[in-house]
Chains A and B, each alone.
Chain A
């Protein structure tokens, strides 16, 4: 194998370049952005709390969403829950967004700054989008 080494090196570099988008975000945490919490519903809450502690939510909210969707869609566990004194559904659009009705100034500001683009909105509605 005369040039074998070179070819393999070339292939590795090519592979590295092709997969760049996948790992380029790796390890980046959200920059200092302030998601807005003053929505009508949140302002009226008895207790200003999320479904889990704020620190946990900040980094692990996608886990909560994943759990919810498996519980709801796959296991049929749709029990409502009380958060901050109001009853909410285990639901993205009827749960999270009931309080965080400001997707653009809440979810999106973080996601834009950390370069994630959840595909959930392909199906789940955002009321702000004027789709209604």
Chain B
């Protein structure tokens, strides 16, 4: 087997550690190989999602989006009901403002906001702690900013779950195949003992489609390239006040929330 560039870089990186060279780079960057991009200069591509909460008004608006994701990815949605809520697996779900933005909640927010549900999913952080802690590179960051979980390589140590400040990751505590509501034969399930999460529908992006949730959101979720000043996400962010979850942690989430004012009463 010939040594390709990636392997060579890996070996060179290890040798570097041995010599005490460039250790800090290896230790403190998320991906030892790929991500020289973060924050210094913006990468050519950084895929992101802007969620316009004003467009989510009825139960149905949320359900459509969540079902779209869970059904095409064979997410075992029946676990909470038929097994045990503690073993739940979810890629996108809803929760209150307080729980979504715990350190930005306030007693004096409008009532409507307090009662509103927000959509939660993996933030595909630009500086992802889950990638930093993974001992096998099962979780890694792609050049386009997606944070991907390789279920083939995952050893199930759950360090990424401890590392993720957003609770975005689920572990398969039980056999997921027993708790599928619907199955989609085009996509694999997972098995016991591996971690999974939202992939921004990487398999659909390859086909030129957008994420399934965005497709079903009636414009409530907009997906695009944050590095492109003319992209729709950038335009939305330029004309609306949007916030991210736990910004003080320096993870640089790629999911933005437009909260809106009174009009989000729903």
Contact = CB atoms under 8 A, between A and B. Distances in A.
Do chains A and B stick together as partners? yes
Interface of A: 69, 73-74, 76, 78, 92-94, 119, 122-125, 127, 131-132
A125 B148 contact: no
A93 B190 contact: no
B183 A132 contact: yes
Given A73-B150, A123-B151, A78 B203 contact: yes
A122 B140 CA distance: 23
A69 B152 contact: yes
Given A76-B142, A132-B183, A124 B188 contact: yes
B68 interface: no
29 contacts: A73-B148, A73-B150, A74-B140, A74-B148, A76-B142, A76-B144, A76-B206, A78-B203, A92-B188, A93-B185, A93-B188, A94-B186, A122-B189, A122-B191, A123-B151, A123-B188, A123-B189, A123-B190, A123-B191, A124-B188, A125-B183, A125-B185, A125-B188, A125-B189, A131-B177, A131-B183, A131-B185, A132-B183, A132-B185
A15 B151 CA distance: 31
Contacts of A119: 191
Contacts of A131: 177, 183, 185
A93 B186 contact: yes
Interface residues on B, range: 10 to 19
A123 B152 CA distance: 10
Contacts of A93: 185-186, 188
B78 to A, nearest CB: 15
Contacts of B202: 76
Nearest to B207: A78
Contacts of B190: 123
Main DSSP-derived SS at the A contact region: helix
A78 B183 contact: no
A132 B185 CA distance: 7
A103 B81 CA distance: 33
Interface string B24-37: 00000000000000
Contacts of A125: 183, 185, 188-189
Looking at B140, B152, B186, the one whose CB has the most chain A CB atoms below 10 A away is: B152
Nearest to B1: A63
Contacts of A132: 183, 185
Contacts of B140: 74
Interface in B94-135: none
A76 B47 CA distance: 14
A37 B20 CA distance: 56
A123 B185 CA distance: 11
Contacts of A124: 188
A78 B206 CA distance: 7
Interface in B188-210: 188-191, 202-203, 206
A122 B74 CA distance: 13
Nearest to B192: A122
Given A76-B202, A78-B206, A127 B150 contact: no
Contacts of B185: 93, 125, 127, 131-132
Contacts of A69: 152
B176 to A, nearest CB: 9
Contacts of B150: 73-74
B172 to A, nearest CB: 10
Contacts of A74: 140, 148, 150
